[in-house]
Chain A
Amino acid sequence: MGAYEGGLSMHSIIDAFQFIGDNLHFMLTKTLEHLALSGAAIAVALVIAIPLGVTLGHLHKGSFLAINASNIGRALPSLAIISIGIGILGIGFINVMVAMVVLAVPPMLTNAYVAVDGVDPDAVEAARAVGMSPGQVLWTVEIPLAVPLMFAGIRTGAVYVVATATLAAIAGGGGLGDVIVNQASYGTAGVIAGALMVTALAFLVEGLFAVIQRLLTPRALRHEEGPAELLAPVVEAT
């Protein structure tokens, strides 16, 4: 309120931080709701996409499906998917979660497939030659080598879920979107505060998967990742 009411300036950003401080418990509750919703969707998406993508990649089958999944998935408008979900499943946590799973699976699936499918055939042959069973080849050679590209897809999907969960407020899903849509009660400061928290959460989730990736990458393949790679989406050139 006051001279800057409705305006945007450094003052507004400071107001936003003040808002978070004044409403810490509330904002943390909303953030946890947001995290819970995102986490559930990411978990379900992982369970669907990774085994499927890895298996198809290992068998070198289903390339058409796996590759076009991400092309089509990337094109799906998130609010439209939520809308169709409401039409079929009604409002609430489950509906939004299903919509977000639909949006998160494609990048995860495609990357998992391409990652495993594209593992250096020489490495695979060498492993076979040594006498490993296909299963052992998969777990000791293919998957570890596939980790970087696979995780690029997982991170893209995860960040997308956190961003889309903001729209959950419209469908009764709760989370930080509740703050962002409620400019009436929380003012511009609240909207900015909500936006800041969502962004922070997206970075957090990104970072979390980056750490997991590092842990799972075989030492020989590790390399330093700069902030630019963590920040921006993967450039695609089909």
Chain B
Amino acid sequence: MRGTMRRLIVWSLLAATMAFGVAACGSDDNSSSSSSTPASSTSAAAPAQPGKGKPPVTIGTKDFTEEFILGELYKGALEAKGYTVNLKKNIGATEIIDTALTSHKIDAYPEYTGESVATVAKRNEPAKTADEEYQLAKEFYEGRGQTVSEPTPFEDVDAIAAPKAYAQKHGLTTMEDLKKLGSFSLGARPEFKNRQQGLAGMKKVYGITKAQFRQLALGVQYQAMDTGKIDTANVFTTDAQLASGKYTVLKDPKGVFGFQNVSFVIDKNKLAQLGGDQFMAVINSVNKLLTTDAMTSMNKAVATDKQDEAAVAKQFLQANKLT
């Protein structure tokens, strides 16, 4: 009796192990996000492959959808030209990912020009045009050992939004109107609280002192608004959720949130190893395609229709003949 029991147990153990083995062997392609292989063949008329023979480049992205898509766009375009890309997705907020850049844990990442100036460089000089903002960012990075690509046409700026009903009830159309409210709650990602392009700046520039800060993980603010847990929230102007019409985005006439076009920030030495201008040309070829419409439609595909960022990026690149 005991022997039979033992046998039964050993067989079930073997069966389970085989099941695990099948599951493990089932995925031979290593699709882990920390490494990748270059595309073996691209379009029929394969253009020059400037990336061949160059060292791998590690690109990081911040902790939200748009950045994920940008990362995949750069990766796809670079791999089509023979480069080897390690994509480190979802590293964290500006402060974290910038530290990763300066400590060489990553070589490059897409950054917003206003962020570069206000949060990374910690300069309080508000720029008057998008171009001025870009120049300030560029100047800062060049002085620190990095360099930047051309900026994208689109911008994605912080904004304050409220559910439509709440905005109508309190007559909110611009940030100035927030002063009319007594105490109100503002849900935002953790780093927003202390930033000049955040709550601290709102206090200083608009005199909004009665906001109750509610820390939320990035992305949660829409659900929190929908369920009435917060009155207002910090949003990004290209968020897919804003297209639903359920929220009123408040105007920012005094420009406290700056100009926020995207440029690709990369370590100078690494750029040199990668072939300098040739490498940047690929990045710029992607950036110039990113209009507001292009970005928002990709954001929507990922955030609303739950498509894979990699698939969406690939489709976009193919449609524009970059892969």
Contacts and interface: CB of A to CB of B under 8 A. Distances in A.
The short answer to whether A and B are in direct contact, CB under 8 Å, is: yes
Interface of A: 5-6, 90-92, 169-172, 174, 178, 181-185
Contacts of B93: 184
Given A91-B223, A172-B220, 16 more contacts: A5-B99, A91-B216, A169-B215, A171-B217, A172-B224, A181-B190, A181-B217, A182-B190, A182-B191, A182-B215, A183-B92, A183-B96, A184-B93, A184-B190, A185-B190, A185-B191
Contact of A184 (B92, B224, B227): B92
Contacts, number: 43
Contacts of A6: 99, 103
A169 to B, nearest CB: 7
B94 interface: yes
A69 B225 CA distance: 38
The 7 A-B residue pairs whose C-beta atoms are closest, nearest first, are A182-B190, A184-B95, A184-B93, A184-B191, A185-B191, A178-B215, A185-B194
B223 A90 contact: yes
Contacts of A174: 215
Contacts of B92: 183-184
Interface in B120-169: none
How many interface residues does chain B have, given as a range?
10 to 19
Interface in B211-225: 215-217, 220, 223-224
A40 B270 CA distance: 52
A185 to B, nearest CB: 5
A91 to B, nearest CB: 5
Interface of B: 92-96, 99, 103, 190-191, 193-194, 215-217, 220, 223-224, 227, 229
A172 B96 CA distance: 21
Contacts of B99: 5-6
A90 B226 CA distance: 11
Given A6-B103, A183-B96, A185-B193, A172 B227 contact: no
B217 to A, nearest CB: 5
Q: Is the interface of A mostly helix, strand, loop or mixed?
A: loop
Contacts of B103: 6
Contacts of A91: 216, 220, 223-224
A5 B193 CA distance: 22
Nearest to A182: B190
Contacts of B94: 184
Contacts of B220: 91, 172
A65 B322 CA distance: 60
28 contacts: A6-B103, A90-B223, A91-B216, A91-B223, A92-B227, A92-B229, A169-B217, A170-B217, A171-B217, A172-B216, A172-B220, A172-B229, A174-B215, A178-B190, A181-B190, A181-B217, A182-B190, A182-B191, A183-B92, A183-B95, A184-B92, A184-B93, A184-B96, A184-B190, A184-B191, A185-B95, A185-B190, A185-B194
A170 B220 CA distance: 9
Nearest to A170: B217
A98 B229 CA distance: 18
A122 B204 CA distance: 75
A216 B96 CA distance: 49
The CB with the most chain A CB atoms within 10 A, among B103, B215, B223, B229, is that of B215
B97 to A, nearest CB: 9
B217 A172 contact: yes
Nearest to B63: A184
A128 to B, nearest CB: 39
A178 B217 CA distance: 9
Contacts of B96: 183-184
Nearest to B229: A92
A206 to B, nearest CB: 28
